[in-house]
Structure 1
Amino acid sequence: MNHQPIEGFSRLTKQGKIDWLNGEYLNGDKTYEHILKQYWNDNPELQKLHDEFSENTISNFYMPYGIAPNFLIDGKLYALPMAVEESSVVAAASKSAKFWIDKGGFKTTIINTKKLGHTHFIMDVEPHKLQHFFNFKLKKKLFEATEDITANMRRRGGGILNIRLLDKTAEMPHYYQLKASFDTVDSMGANFINSCLEQFGKTLKEEIAASEDFSMQEKESLQVVMNILSNYTPDCIVRAEVSCPVEDLKDDSGIAHEEFAWKFKQAVTIAEIEPYRATTHNKGIMNGVDAVVIATGNDFRATEACAHAYASRNGKYSSLTHCTTDNGIFRFWIDLPVSVGVVGGLTNLHPLVKFSLAILGKPSAQQLMSILAVSGLAQNFAALRSLVTTGIQKGHMKMHLLNILNQLGATEEEKKYFVSYFRDKTVSHHEVIDEFNRLRTQ
C-alpha cells in the first residue's frame, strides 16, 4: 500500500483519527478499532482527562500497577507503588525489602538538591572582557530580571542559587554559557527553570546591546542559541544503603554467608570495571527506579538519561552501586542523581498518581528521591543475589510463566498444573511448550 501524508490530523476527532488509520494502514480491519476502544475508560470525564495528557490520543496504554510492601526506609515502613510490565520486578523488590527489614532496613542521605540549566550563546569577544562584564554588571541584572518569576519559589524556600559564566571557546569557537543552579523544592521545576533561563537570554541581549563595554561588532556577534534546563543533575543526588555483619547474610539457597558476601562484592566490582556488565547491571537498577517514577507521575526518560550520564562521569560507563565487606561488615549502597517532584505536572491530575503519593504518605520531593534510590538498590540486590546463587532465570522465568501460558491460550486448570509442575524446577520456554503440547495431545 502506498501511504499518503495527511494534513490536519490533529484537528480530526478521535474517531476520525481511528477511521483514517483503519483506511490508510489497517485495510479497514475493524478488529483493531475494537481493541482500541476496549481500553477506553467507561467514565467519559476520566477518559477526557487522559486524552488531554498528550496529543493525538486514540486510546490508553495500560501497564500493570503493583505494590511492593515491607520497605523499612529511615525507620519508617513503606509500601512502594510500581508501574511496570516486566515480570519479577515487583517480586524482586519485595523480596529484598523482606530480607533487609530485620537488619535495620534501608538508610538514605540527601547529598544535594541542586538542579541546573543553561543559556547557550555565541559571541565573538575576548573571554576576560565578557567575564568582567558578567561579574560587575550582568549577574546582578539577571537576578533582578527574574525576581517576578522566582517570587513564589523563593517564598517556598527555593529559587536561583547561583549563576556563572562559563568559557567554552576551547571546545567550540566563541561559545559561552550562563550556567545557573536552582532549588525547586517539591516541584521537578522544569517549567520554572526554563522560564528563568529564557529571561536570562532576553536580559543578556538587552544588557549587551546597551553596554558601552563592547564594540558594535562584538554586540552584533551575539547569538543566543537556546535556553534550556539540563536533565543531568549530578548535584541533585541521594544515597541509599544497607549494611549488616557478614554472618547475617543467610541465604535460602544454601550458600555460606562468607561465600555469598565475597561473590556479591565480586559481582559489583565487575560492574564497576566492565561496561558490558555495567549496562545490564544499571538497567536492573532502573527497573526499580522507573517503576516508582512512573507510578508517581514523574519523567522516567529524564531519570534514565541522568542516571546513565552519571554512570559515565569518569569517562567510562560504570556501576551505580558499590559494595564493601570491610571488618566483617557487608555494606551496599547507591548514589543516585534524580530530579523529581510531588507538585505540578501529573501529580495533581492523574488519579493513580494521587493514590501513589497518598500511600507513600504524601512525601516531599526529597523523601521521594530517597524512596526511588531505595527501590533501585533493592532491585539490584535481588538481581545480584540471584546471579551469585541460583542464577537469574530460576526466579525470573517463574514469574514469566503466566505470560507464556497466556500466549498459548492455557486454561485456568492448565495454569494451576504448570505452577505446580515448575514449583521446584527452573522454567524454560521450550519446556513449557513441550509439556503444554504433551498435555493437549493426551
Structure 2
Amino acid sequence: MAQTPFYRLPYGARRDLLAQQRHLTVDQLAQIASRRRAGDADLIENYLTTYGVPEGVAVNLRINGRDVTVPMVTEEPSVIAAASNGGRLLTSKMGIITSVARREVMGQIVLSHVDDRTGIKAWLTAHQEELLRVANAVHPSLLGHGGGVRSLRIRYIPPHWMSLDLFVDVGEAMGANLVNTICEAVATYLKEHLTVNVLMSILSNYATHSLATAEVAVPVNQLATKSVDGATVAQRICDASDFAAHDPYRAVTHNKGIMNGIDAVVLAMGNDWRAVESGAHAYASRHGSYQSLSRWWIVGETLRGELTLPLALGYVGGATRVFPLVTINQQIAQVTSARDLMGVTVAVGLAQNLAALRALVTDGIQHGHMQLQLKSLALSVGATPGEVPAVVGRLRGETQPTTAQAKAALAAVRAANLKK
C-alpha cells in the first residue's frame, strides 16, 4: 500500500511523525502545542505551530504635519528604537513630507521565441484599445470604484522575448490575484488572435508605477551629540551617504538599515514584505549598479534627506483580512488608504536611515545596538523577564559579552536571589 503523502496526513499524525523522525522531546512538543492557533492551519500547508514575532510601536514621528504612531513587527531589538530616535531628530512643524504620484501594479504577458517582433508589436499597438477593453472586462467592479487597467507597454527583451506590460490601478487592494487574473485573460485573447507562444502571465513586484517618496529638512544643530557638534555630524552623514552611492558593498548595508524599518511596518500592516524587499533592491540597481536608496545633502544650515521606494501596498485584501491585528494597527497609525500606508512606510524608512547613519558616524553602531542586544542575550540563556534587568546590569561592563558570560551572570543573579 502506498504511503500517504505528508500533506494529506491529519495534524496529529504529521506532528507525531515529525516528533518521531526528529526526536522531539515532550517539552518541545508542549511548546509547539502552546503556540498552535486555530485557523492558521488553513493559511499554509503542513501547518505545525505559530511562530510569533514581537510587535511594538515607533513614536516621535511627525509625517505631513501630524503626529503618527506606527506599529512595527520585528525580532531585531534596535529597529523600533532607531525609528523612534530618527523621528525625534526629524521633528519640525511638518516633519517628514511624503508623496505618492500614482499607484499602479504592473502585470506581464511574456511571449517567447518571437520571430516577427516588428509585426507582433505593430499588431499589439494597433489593438491597444481592444486589449484594454478585454482587460477591464475581467473585473468590471474595479472600474466602478475608479480603478482599472490604465495603460499598456510593449518591450522587446533580447534575444527572443516580448513583454506586454499592463498597468493596473487596483484601488485599495494589494492586487496580486486581481492582476494575475487580468493578465491571464489578455493572454487567452492573444492566443486566439495571434500565433504566439505565451510563456507566462503574472504580476511584477518591481512596482515602478507605485513610487513613494519621503523628504525632510532638519536644522543641523538638532543632530549634535554629547561629543560632536551638529554641523560635523551633518557633514559626516552626507559623506556616508555619498560613499553608499559609490560602493555597492556599503550600499547593501545602508539599504538593509532602511529596510529594517520598511519591512517591520509592511509586516505589521499585513502586506507582502518579500515583494517590497525584492522591488526595493531592484530599484537600487536601476542605474546599472547597486546604489543607496536614500541621499542626504546640506543646504546652508539644514540637512536634507530624500528616500524613494517602489511600494505597492494594499489597505484591504490579502492578509489584511486574515490577521485581526492589521485593522487595529491601521487604526493606531491612522492609516485610512493605501496611499496613507505608502507614505507612513517610506517615512519610517527615512527616519530609520538617519538614526543609523548618525550613530554610525559618531559613537559607532554598536554603542546603542549592544545595549539593546543585552536583553536578547539574557533571554537566550534562560533568564525570566524578572531576571533580565539584573542580568543586563551585570553584562553592561563587558565589551563584547558572550553566551558564557551571560550564563555566569544569570547564575550569579539567581544565587543572589536565593540569599535574600
Normalised TM-score (structure 2): 0.92
SS at match of 1:112: coil
Q: Specify which of 192, 217, 221 is matched with residue 243 of structure 1.
A: 217
Question: For 1:221-236, what aligned pairs fall within 5 Å after superposition?
Answer: 222-236=196-210
Q: Specify which of 174, 184, 198 is matched with residue 198 of structure 1.
A: 184
Uncovered stretches (5+) of structure 1, i.e. residues with no partner: 42-46, 209-218
The answer as to 2:416 corresponding to 1:429 is no
Please name the residue that 1:372 is paired with.
345
Which string of whole-angstrom CA distances, capped at 9 and with x for unpartnered residues, describes residues 40-82 of structure 1?
24xxxxx12x221222211100000111123111012111000
Identity %: 32
Q: In 2, Cα distance between the equivalents of 1:412 and 1:150?
A: 52
Q: Specify which of 243, 252, 262 is matched with residue 270 of structure 1.
A: 243
For 1:57, give the aligned amino acid.
Y
The answer as to 2:74 corresponding to 1:64 is no
Q: In 1, Cα distance between the equivalents of 2:72 and 2:387?
A: 29
The answer as to 2:265 corresponding to 1:292 is yes
For 2:18, give the aligned amino acid.
L
The answer as to 2:152 corresponding to 1:163 is yes
Please name the residue that 1:211 is paired with.
none
The answer as to 2:30 corresponding to 1:34 is yes
The answer as to 2:1 corresponding to 1:16 is no
Contact 1:398 1:426 in 2 (8 A): no
Deviation at 1:123, TM superposition (A): 5.1
Q: 1:162 to 1:426 in 2, by over 3 A?
A: farther
Contact 1:187 1:365 in 2 (8 A): yes
Question: For 1:178-189, what aligned pairs fall within 5 Å after superposition?
Answer: 178-189=164-175
Q: 1:124 to 1:75 in 2, by over 3 A?
A: closer
Q: In 2, Cα distance between the equivalents of 1:437 and 1:352?
A: 35
Contact 1:394 1:426 in 2 (8 A): no
Contact 1:165 1:178 in 2 (8 A): yes
For 1:84, give the aligned amino acid.
T
Contact 1:89 1:287 in 2 (8 A): yes
Contact 1:322 1:333 in 2 (8 A): yes
Contact 1:141 1:203 in 2 (8 A): no
The answer as to 2:317 corresponding to 1:344 is yes
Contact 2:90 2:218 in 1 (8 A): no
Deviation at 1:438, TM superposition (A): 9.0
Normalised TM-score (structure 1): 0.87
The answer as to 2:100 corresponding to 1:110 is yes
**Root mean square deviation of aligned Cα:** 2.3
Contact 1:83 1:295 in 2 (8 A): yes
SS at match of 2:300: helix
Which string of whole-angstrom CA distances, capped at 9 and with x for unpartnered residues, describes residues 124-152 of structure 1?
4422222222222x323322223332311
Contact 2:59 2:87 in 1 (8 A): yes
For 1:13, give the aligned amino acid.
P
SS at match of 1:429: coil
Contact 2:149 2:168 in 1 (8 A): yes
For 1:304, give the aligned amino acid.
E
Q: In 2, Cα distance between the equivalents of 1:426 and 1:323?
A: 35
Runs (4+) of structure 1 moved beyond 6 Å?
none
Aligned positions, number: 413
Q: Specify which of 145, 149, 152 is matched with residue 138 of structure 2.
A: 149
For 2:189, give the aligned amino acid.
T
Q: In 2, Cα distance between the equivalents of 1:412 and 1:206?
A: 65
